[in-house]
Structure 1
Amino acid sequence: MGRKKLARFKDNEENENVIQEGKSIFEEIKGNWNKKQFENEHPIVVELACGRGEFTVGLAREYPENNFIGVDIKGSRIWKGSTTAIKEGLENVAFLRTQIELLDRFFGKDEIEELWITFPDPRPRDGDEKKRLTSPRFLEIYKPMIKKDGIIHLKTDNTGLFDYTLEVLKERDDIKDLGYTDDFYSSEYKNDHHGIKTRYEAMFSEKGEKIKYLKFRFDN
């Protein structure tokens, strides 16, 4: 392992906005994000597969009245968002280092106001369907932790994942307010992402690839 990566891992151990295994708060945070991490009662917005945290940090800059949590398993990626937030004095940002399939270990019932799934791995092989972050398996993980009328968003450049997700959602009887477009920046939804682009999204857009987007609520 390179020296740079080791240094980043050490920073993560010390940075209070990184929640990861080995810290006492890691085992105590479920249902307690506002109390133990943010020390306020502001709404919680979560980004899955947040990578370097550009979107999570960008939202936190724009909306200081909310709390934002980026989730990713890659510590060296989380380090970037964590250190940026600290340098900018953003106290409404945190990062959770864990696998997304374990998300229900870290969020209690009705704890999340809004959930963003931004450019996840599309897992195109048929055998990987259960690993897609919009599969029925994952939707059942998210559902209890999303507040009544909370919103879930998906942004992707991958047509296969987008079409698959629409099919999954339209087959369910617990989905409402489904809105979608296969050309985000030419649609009525273009302001839903608050003008914040990740490095990957900018790269996709520069190549001329259309960004797909959808949002929905659980009818519960």
Structure 2
Amino acid sequence: MGKDKLRKFAEVATFANVLQLDEGKVMKGQWAAAHFGKDKPIVLELACGKGEYSVNLAKLFPEKNFIGIDYKGNRIWRGAKTALEEGIQNVAFLRIQIENILDYFSSGEVDEIWITFPDPQPQISREKKRLTAPAFLERYKQILKPGGTVNLKTDNDGLHAYTLEKILELDLHLLKKTEDLYRSEIVNEVLSIKTYYERKYLANEKNINYLQFSY
């Protein structure tokens, strides 16, 4: 591991807005009151990477609390550091494996979920690793409030098609869908937030897919 990654891992462990592994378990069922200090709606960004969506959503919606989730602390470092430097208090980061999410959130604790440019896991043998595979969708259902929404932004056409297929198979409620977000009528200030990877895809003229659904 490079020196820069080691430095970021060490530094992120000192950040007040980052909880790691078992630290986050004590927040289960009380994120709004115990961690943020205010009872506001909770929004998650899964596989948040550098946390661009979490930080920018927190700026746009001070009336909500945001939690970016990823396992790679050196990536979380960027978003967490930006939030600290800019005094953004309604965003936090949680370093865990997403398959363990039920250990960290109670039933109905979450209002909305964003999945932004996750690894599409294109190999058939890795289908269960896709963040929109049925087992993951069932986990999200358990922690979301009734009517809570899930949003997927991806450059990967295969993951978009796969997720749409699962929405239909599981009889979920498809709310919005487009295969070319920035040429669609649904693009808005929230959907125009761009991650590091999204900017790279757009520079190469790659279309961006978007889905929103509920249970």
TM-score (norm 2): 0.96
**Counterpart in 2 of 1:120?**
118
**Counterpart in 1 of 2:154?**
156
Size of the alignment, in residue pairs?
215
Match 2:198 to one of 201, 205, 218: 201
Distance (Å, rounded) in 2 between the aligned partners of 1:78 and 1:185 = 27
Q: Where does 1:55-204 land on structure 2 (aligned, <5 Å)?
A: 55-173=53-171, 175-191=172-188, 193-204=190-201
Identity of aligned residues (%): 49
3-state secondary structure, aligned to 2:122 = coil
3-state secondary structure, aligned to 1:71 = strand
1:178 CA displacement: 3.1
TM-score (norm 1): 0.94
3-state secondary structure, aligned to 1:155 = strand
Contact between 2:167 and 2:173, CA under 8 Å: does it hold in 1?
A: no
3-state secondary structure, aligned to 2:149 = strand
Contact between 2:68 and 2:93, CA under 8 Å: does it hold in 1?
A: yes
Cα offsets for 1:77-105 (capped at 9, x unmatched): 00111110000000101000011101111
3-state secondary structure, aligned to 1:188 = coil
1:151 CA displacement: 1.0
Q: What value does the CA root-mean-square deviation take over the aligned residues? A: 1.3
Distance (Å, rounded) in 2 between the aligned partners of 1:93 and 1:11 = 18
Measured at CA, do residues 17 and 123 of structure 1 come closer, stay the same or move farther in structure 2, by a change above 3 Å? Answer: same
Distance (Å, rounded) in 1 between the aligned partners of 2:167 and 2:135 = 12
1:194 CA displacement: 4.4
1:172 CA displacement: 1.3
Contact between 2:17 and 2:93, CA under 8 Å: does it hold in 1?
A: yes
3-state secondary structure, aligned to 2:177 = strand
Q: Which residue type is aligned with residue 55 of structure 2? A: V
5+ residue gaps, structure 2: none
1:149 CA displacement: 1.0
Q: Which residue type is aligned with residue 181 of structure 1? A: T
**Counterpart in 2 of 1:3?**
3
Q: Where does 1:18-29 land on structure 2 (aligned, <5 Å)?
A: 18-21=18-21, 25-29=23-27
Are 2:10 and 1:13 equivalent residues in the alignment?
no
Contact between 2:28 and 2:106, CA under 8 Å: does it hold in 1?
A: yes
Contact between 2:167 and 2:174, CA under 8 Å: does it hold in 1?
A: no
Distance (Å, rounded) in 2 between the aligned partners of 1:55 and 1:27 = 23
3-state secondary structure, aligned to 2:13 = helix
Distance (Å, rounded) in 1 between the aligned partners of 2:130 and 2:206 = 21
Distance (Å, rounded) in 2 between the aligned partners of 1:198 and 1:10 = 24
Match 1:38 to one of 36, 39, 47: 36
Distance (Å, rounded) in 2 between the aligned partners of 1:182 and 1:2 = 38
Distance (Å, rounded) in 2 between the aligned partners of 1:98 and 1:45 = 16
Distance (Å, rounded) in 2 between the aligned partners of 1:12 and 1:102 = 21
3-state secondary structure, aligned to 1:46 = strand
